[in-house]
Amino acid sequence: MSPILLENKIYLWYIITMKIIGHRGAKGLAPENTLISFKKGLESNADYIEFDIQLTKDNKVAVIHDYSLQRTTGINGLVSEFTLAEIKKADAGAWFSEEFRGQQLPSLEEALDFIIPKAIPVIEIKMSYFYNPDFKKYLTPILEEYSKKSHLIVISFFHPILKELKNDLKNIETAVLYNSALTAPWQVAESVKADAVHPRADSINMDIINELKKRGYPIRPWVINTEKEFKIFLDAGVDALGTDFPNILNEFLSQNNVSK
């Protein structure tokens, strides 16, 4: 049920719930998309751990956000130009702080093994799929195997892949990811048979939220990092919040007697 927030007081006779999505694990606490970041997210009681995937040169699925390795490993080159073994030799932690020197970028299987069953994986397929139509061929068997063990959520800005995966895999949940102000995101979700929507926080308003609720779509905005934003979206009655700081959101929810 949506919360009632009047005069900055939460009326506790309403059952208020909110789930936590750790963005790239716990992006604000540790180097993103590494096992230590996932660990920080789990320690912060995140219900979902979100991460990004791309296809490597040898057709393995690696966990990394940028198409280039430069920002998080210092290596000049694209993910698609390296094998998984080469990528795993890179230091993906020193850029964040010396404390995390030596952290590796995991494979999709390693990420899923680490997260399941402690949280629900939210897997973002990067739009490099558009340039590599073979991505689905190598990804689908992995998703099929792990969907037998856990609830999986697959998201992407490249919405056609969601429809293709939904046709192939009935047991996964898919969600439309978007970061621009769509006037009718439910139409996009309907067109690709998606189960939920994951909008950027500044791309929705109450009219859109209410219409999505009416149509039964879970709403999980991102990236929301401040107490002011937490309050706004708690009041709006969305289902989950994606945050770089799941520890702070967890503390906020606890202080405001919000159930998870």
Angle at the Cα of 222 from the Cα atoms of 42 and 236, rounded to 5 degrees: 105
Q: Are 122 and 89 in contact (CB under 8 A)?
A: no
Radius of gyration of the chain (CA): 18
Judge whether 198 counts as a catalytic residue.
no
Q: Name the catalytic one among 23, 151, 159, 198.
A: 23
* Strand pairing class (48-55; 61-63): antiparallel
Q: Which residue has the tokens 């949940």?
A: 173
Strand intervals (E) in 43-188: 48-55, 61-63, 120-125, 153-156, 173-178
Angle at the Cα of 209 from the Cα atoms of 203 and 210, rounded to 5 degrees: 150
- Residue whose C-alpha is closest to residue 71's, from 51, 96, 54, 46: 96
- Residue whose C-alpha is closest to residue 86's, from 76, 100, 71: 76
**Secondary structure of 21-54 in HEC code, one letter for each residue:** EECCCCCCCCCCCCHHHHHHHHHCCCCEEEEEEE
First to last CA, the chain: 12
**Which amino acids are annotated catalytic?**
23, 65
